[in-house]
Structure 1
Amino acid sequence: MTASPDLGARTASPDLLRSVFRQHAAGVAVITAAGDHPVGFTATSLNSVAADPPLISFGVGVSSSSWPVLAEAEHVGVHILGEHQRELATTFARSGADRFGTSTDWHEGPHGVPVLAGVPAWLVCQVVARVPAGDHRIVIARAVIGDPSGGGRPLLYHQGRFNALRD
């Protein structure tokens, strides 16, 4: 094997990490929680952790407007977005947006968690851990109830934009 030159290699930095992960297509989810008022944010860091017990994880910035509620919440909602929900993803990603205003179809679900309507799938999960990770926390939660029957094709995030699968 011959060594190849490290053309374009850069020292690790936040910008490098963002640039590398722009090349990684990720599913798009919205995480919600209830407090004095409902909160939510768009996440591309959602992962399945274990099947038994059924655990998921996601990252959230401690500077996020949702973090104070998520830091205390016993339960969270996890919503898998469909390709038809770019506007919803943008609303929950935008700082200062009225995420639960009249344009968002949602209801209070199990354990008081805000559940978004029209998504391909959703879960309500019980938070089991919040792990410090730099300027974020990794939240690990156990699924307690959900509905995977919404159907449709997933919304993806790639190259800094929301995208749909191509045939």
Structure 2
Amino acid sequence: MTVSPELRTLPTIPSAVPSAPSPRVSFAADPAPAPAPVVGAPRPGSPDLLRSVFRQHAAGVAVITAHGDGRPVGFTATSLNSVAAEPPLISFGVGTGSSCWPVISGAEHIGVHILGEHQEALAATFARSGADRFAAPTRWSLGPEGVPVLDGVLAWLVCRVVAKVPAGDHRIVIAQVVAGDPDGAGRPLLYHQGRFNALRD
């Protein structure tokens, strides 16, 4: 390094007082900035967030049926759950604004049908608003306790309603198994990413 001639000629001045060490100054780390919201992402705590998350959840497909006011009713459900073994209880959700709710709300017994991968059209029929769900080509008959039982399903149950629990704009229906048949042939139909799907090998 080249030294400036002016700096070479400056005298050295001894210090009268020993210099104190520079105080150590610590700085608190700045808090990490909040992540920027993703454009188009669902708002936290919104119904859209719930829907977006549950689109990732593969669920079995069932049709719930009941009979009342002289007519059969039914709808496609992906909210079916086994609740308890003793006594044998199941649950499912139904919207209070659905066309089926007036009948189901007063029904003593309901039918639960597990659909096979060959029944995508049936699932779509029972999910479609305004459809005549029990007209041909739907095949069904009256089963135990006068509940409509669909033909060709993987399995079905008839259950006695024991509770209807308020849950937002839905009711969670809890029902006890009284009859059924688990021996249908085929593989289950699934619902994932807003579509009906079959199992992959």
Query: TM-score normalised by the shorter chain: which range applies?
Result: over 0.9
Aligned CA-pair RMSD: 1.4
Whichever residue aligns with residue 158 of structure 1, its letter is H
Whole-Å separation in 1 of the counterparts to 2:97 and 2:161: 19
Partner residue, 2:54: 21
Equivalent positions of 1:81-100 (< 5 A) are 81-100=115-134
- Point out where structure 1 has 5 or more consecutive residues left out of the alignment: none
Match of 1:156 among 172, 175, 190: 190
State the match for 1:104 in structure 2.
138
Identity %: 79
Query: Moved runs in structure 1, 4+ residues, more than 6 A?
Result: none
Paired residue total:
164
The whole-number CA distance in structure 1 between the counterparts of 2:36 and 2:143 is: 51
What is the TM-score with the length of structure 2 in the denominator? 0.79
The offset of 1:151, in angstroms, is 2.4
Cα deviation digits, residues 82-135 of structure 1 (max 9, x gap):
000000000000000000002110000000000000000000000000000000
Higher relative contact order, chain-length normalized (CA < 8 Å, sep 6+): 1
- Superposition deviation, residue 6 in structure 1: 8.7
Q: Partners in 2 of 1:41 and 1:76 — Cα distance?
A: 11
Which amino acid is the alignment partner of residue 75 of structure 1? H
- Which amino acid is 2:99 matched to? S
The question of 1:11 aligning with 2:11 is answered: no
- SS at the partner of 1:71? helix
Work out the CA distance in 2 between the residues paired with 1:19 and 1:11.
11
Separation in structure 1 between the aligned mates of residue 122 and residue 36 of structure 2, nearest angstrom: 40
Unaligned runs of 5+ residues in structure 2 are: 1-34
Distance 1:157 1:19 in 2: 14
Q: 1:95 & 1:113 partners in 2: Cα distance? A: 21
CA distance in 1, matches of 2:63, 2:103: 15
TM-score, normalised with respect to structure 1: 0.95
Cα distance in 1, alignment partners of residues 187 and 136 from structure 2: 25
Asked if residue 73 in structure 1 is aligned to residue 92 in structure 2, the reply is no
Measured in 2, the distance between the counterparts of 1:19 and 1:97 equals 27
Q: Structure 1 pair 22/6, CA: closer, same or farther in 2 (3 Å)?
A: farther
Match of 1:41 among 56, 75, 79: 75
Task: Give the whole-Å Cα distance in 2 for the aligned partners of 1:136 and 1:6.
Answer: 34
Provide Cα deviations, 1:18-66, integer angstroms capped at 9, x if missing partner.
1110000000000000002100000000000001100000000000000
Give the C-alpha shift of residue 16 in structure 1: 1.1
2:74 and 2:112 map into 1 onto residues whose CA distance is 10
Greater percentage in strand: 1
